[in-house]
């Protein structure tokens, strides 16, 4: 009898562990808390730790599904094309776990992912988009054409061949523009340095190919966009968002004054309050 009880207890612990830490080829996911489900999609190169402060509070009332995508945060890389595989795998996860009425919260690439999923199928109750665009490539390149975003390019080849010291210097410069929080800049640098290099290079090319400007017109659920004002100020940021989201009929746009791309690091109290308000 004792042996049966021991086996039963071991089985329960195993099932709880599997429920709390799931692994998929395209991502890992951690589940913490109980209540209505929230899906947290991180930005490019980030691990699920990017949401740490917010989840510590929100997990008291919500079931938080925290994703880390392949090639980043210690998750093994996958074959390319990277982004389509990630998106399809997340869609499968949502369906397999009956999460069709969850709220999705996505930062940067994760926000674009949430928008893409919501435009494909009526999956979510609501979207909270954190400093993310419908077509990042269109902002970066004049006469943007997704078909021109290819893996084999001089810039990509340079990044692949770059030595670690030079890559670290580049990461340091980039991180300084992504957050005004100097302590958190170190975290961003670490994520970049530890990222699988091919995923960093080719995965970003995949990201730049994504163009949802027309597709978001299919989204009928509420969308809350929390946007940064740095480095160009609120007026220019507002113009960019209005242009990128002009085909989305139902959205609310709010700006985190003085914050750079990682709003959760630059305005943590404001950000948490806005998340709580958005979830009500």
Does the residue 204 lie in any domain? Answer: yes
Neighbours of 101 (CB within 10 A): 13
> Token pair 């389509």 is at which residue?
84
Number of domains, the chain: 1
Does the residue 2 lie in any domain? Answer: no
CATH of the domain at 79: 3.40.50.1820
User: What is the pTM for the complete model shown?
Assistant: 0.91
Q: Are 80 and 59 in contact (CB under 8 A)?
A: no
The residues, ordered by sequence, that sit 6+ positions from 253 with a Cβ below 8 Å of its Cβ are 225, 227, 238, 241, 242, 245
Q: How many residues in total does the chain contain?
A: 280
User: Is 104 in a helix, a strand, or coil?
Assistant: strand
Does the residue 15 lie in any domain? Answer: no
Beta strand 21-24 pairing with 62-69: unpaired
Q: Please give the structure tokens belonging to residue 2.
A: 């004792």
Q: Are 235 and 206 in contact (CB under 8 A)?
A: no
Does the residue 253 lie in any domain? Answer: yes
Does the residue 217 lie in any domain? Answer: yes
> Could you list the residue range(s) of the whole structural domain that residue 239 is in?
20-279
Task: Quote the CA–CA distance of 15 and 31 in Å, as a whole number.
Answer: 13
Could you report the per-residue pLDDT of 52-96, keeping only the tens digit for each?
Answer: 999 999 999 999 999 999 999 999 999 999 999 999 999 999 999
Could you report the per-residue pLDDT of 3-29, keeping only the tens digit for each?
Answer: 334 333 332 333 333 344 566 799 999
Q: Which uninterrupted H or E stretch holds 225?
A: strand 223-228
Q: Are 108 and 44 in contact (CB under 8 A)?
A: yes
Instruction: Supply the pLDDT for residue 21.
Output: 54
Instruction: Supply the pLDDT for residue 124.
Output: 97
Does the residue 177 lie in any domain? Answer: yes
Helix then strand then coil, % of the chain, to nearest 5: 50, 15, 30
Quick one: which of 88, 70, 66, 91 has its CA closest to 27?
A: 70
Does the residue 33 lie in any domain? Answer: yes
């Amino acid at each position: 009898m004792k042996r049966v009880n021991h086996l039963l207890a071991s089985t329960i612990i195993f099932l709880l562990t599997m429920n709390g830490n799931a692994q998929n080829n395209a991502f890992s996911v951690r589940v913490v808390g109980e209540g209505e489900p929230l899906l947290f999609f991180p930005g490019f190169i980030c691990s699920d730790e990017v949401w740490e402060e917010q989840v510590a509070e929100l997990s008291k009332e919500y079931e938080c599904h925290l994703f880390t995508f392949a090639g980043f945060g210690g998750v093994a890389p996958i074959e390319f094309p990277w982004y389509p595989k990630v998106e399809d795998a997340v869609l499968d996860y949502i369906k397999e776990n009956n999460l069709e009425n969850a709220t999705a919260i996505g930062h940067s690439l994760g926000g674009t992912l949430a928008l893409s999923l919501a435009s494909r199928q009526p999956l979510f109750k609501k979207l909270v988009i954190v400093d993310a665009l419908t077509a990042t490539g269109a902002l970066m390149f004049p006469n943007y054409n997704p078909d021109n975003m290819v893996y084999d390019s001089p810039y990509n080849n340079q990044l692949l061949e770059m030595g670690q010291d030079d890559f670290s210097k580049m990461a340091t410069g980039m991180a300084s523009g992504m957050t005004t929080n100097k302590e958190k800049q170190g975290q961003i640098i670490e994520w970049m340095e530890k990222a699988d290099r091919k995923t960093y290079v080719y995965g970003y090319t995949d990201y730049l190919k994504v163009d949802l400007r027309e597709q978001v017109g299919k989204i009928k659920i509420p969308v809350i966009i929390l946007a940064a004002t740095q480095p160009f100020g609120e007026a220019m940021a507002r113009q960019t968002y209005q242009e990128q989201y002009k085909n989305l009929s139902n959205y609310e746009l709010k700006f985190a004054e003085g914050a750079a791309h990682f709003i959760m690091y630059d305005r943590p109290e404001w950000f948490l309050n806005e998340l709580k308000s958005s979830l009500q």
